[in-house]
Amino acid sequence: MTLKLGLIMDLFQAMTVYVKVVETGSMTAAAQECGMSTTMVSNHLRALERRLGVSLLKRTTRKQSLTEFGGEYYQRCLEVLGLVADSELLAEQIHSETPKGDLRITAPPVFGTERLVPALSEFSKRYPLINLYVVLSNERMDLVDSGFDVAIRLGELETSSLIARPMQDYTLTLCASPEYLARRGTPQTPDDLQQHDCLAFAYPANDNWRDTGKLWRMSNDGGEVEIPVSGSLTINSSQGLRQAAVNGMGIIMLADALVHPDLESGKLVALLTTYKLPSRPMHLLYRQDRHRLPKLRAFVDFAMEQWAR
């Protein structure tokens, strides 16, 4: 094992020397950059070429140039050495007590816009050395392949090796504008909804809420009811649906996070409040091997402080 480790370390050093030779254009300049003799640089290159069984450089008395393989190998060396540097930086961050560095977060658009982003102002005040990169999307991005540190995700979870921390459920509210209710009346029972313009969100075909455009479910002590509804608008934008309701087009069933300010201001009125509407579980996901990073620990603790179930 010790011998193999020594060979790997020699290979990394040879790759580093080779990259310096390519970037500086000469062995002499590379030797100065690496703090070694020109002879030692030449020895590293010869050892690397013997190991690979192919020439990396075309050498003449006046200049050197890369072989075709040498150019491709140079790019691979950059990738490998970059990963090694990233790994060392990761280790440094783990041992540092100060949360700092780039933190990549992905979250659903509505929750992200209405809940996450406003809270990030306080998070940044607490941890000014963390740079936030946020992507709001309903796409279930792979944390490893996409390079995200943490994801906030709606719905049932698939089996994975990720740590999943439960958050408050993603809940809905049934509401309409005072102007619409004055014109069309206020529904007193779920069945009354069939006489109203019920505006629908156009869920993607693979979404398990896709049927809510035509069938609204709700429950109380008497059990669950399913109400067939119809209306003059179906739209794939939550903000668009909210605007339609605020402007008196009809009744909507939309996320609490989005309509709460309008309910507070009186632009919208909650309806059938004794009934429970559908909800979705929500979780905070992150890789177990990265939780020791201070920047990730800081965000996980902050998110649980804000939205733990």
Shared domain check, 208 and 109: no
Shared domain check, 204 and 264: yes
Encode 145-166: b = buried (16+ Cβ within 10 Å), e = exposed. eeebbbbbbbbeeeeeebbebe
Shared domain check, 21 and 51: yes
Shared domain check, 129 and 263: no
Shared domain check, 158 and 240: no
Choosing from 70, 95, 120, the residue where a domain stops is: 95
Q: Reply yes or no on whether the pLDDT at 186 is more than 90.
A: yes
Q: What angle do CA 234, 240, 245 make, to 5 degrees?
A: 80
Pick the closest to residue 197 from 209, 210, 184 (CA basis): 184
Choosing from 47, 75, 95, the residue where a domain stops is: 95
pLDDT at 5: 44
Per-residue pLDDT band at 86 (split at 50, 70, 90)? low
Lowest mean pLDDT among 30-44, 180-194, 204-218: 204-218
> pTM for the whole thing?
0.64
Q: How many domains does the chain have?
A: 3
Shared domain check, 303 and 154: yes
Q: Reply yes or no on whether the pLDDT at 2 is more than 50.
A: no
Q: Reply yes or no on whether the pLDDT at 1 is more than 60.
A: no
- Specify the CATH number for the domain of residue 7: 1.10.10.10
Per-residue pLDDT band at 8 (split at 50, 70, 90)? low
Domain limits for position 138: 101-169+281-307
pLDDT by residue (tens digit) across 90-116? 665 555 578 999 999 999 999 999 999
Q: Where are the beta strands (DSSP E) in 39-118?
A: 57-59, 64-66, 101-107
Q: What angle do CA 209, 242, 225 make, to 5 degrees?
A: 40
- Specify the CATH number for the domain of residue 159: 3.40.190.10
Secondary element (H or E) of residue 304: helix 294-307
Shared domain check, 297 and 251: no
What is the arithmetic mean of pLDDT over 145-160? 85
Most confident range (mean pLDDT) of 58-62, 137-141, 151-155 is: 151-155
Per-residue pLDDT band at 162 (split at 50, 70, 90)? confident
What does pLDDT average to over the chain? 86
Shared domain check, 150 and 161: yes
Shared domain check, 187 and 267: yes
What is the arithmetic mean of pLDDT over 118-138? 95
Shared domain check, 24 and 105: no
Instruction: Report how far Cα 76 is from the mean position of its chain's Cα atoms.
Output: 28
Shared domain check, 151 and 184: no
pLDDT at 207: 65
What is the arithmetic mean of pLDDT over 124-135? 96
Choosing from 68, 95, 122, the residue where a domain stops is: 95
Which residues lie across from 154 on neighbouring strands?
Answer: 282
Q: What is 105-150 written as a DSSP string?
A: EEE-HHHIIIIIHHHHHHHHHH-TTEEEEEEE-SS---HHHHT-SE
CA 296, CA 99: separation in Å to the nearest integer? 8
Shared domain check, 189 and 126: no
pLDDT by residue (tens digit) across 189-211? 999 999 999 999 887 666 666 65
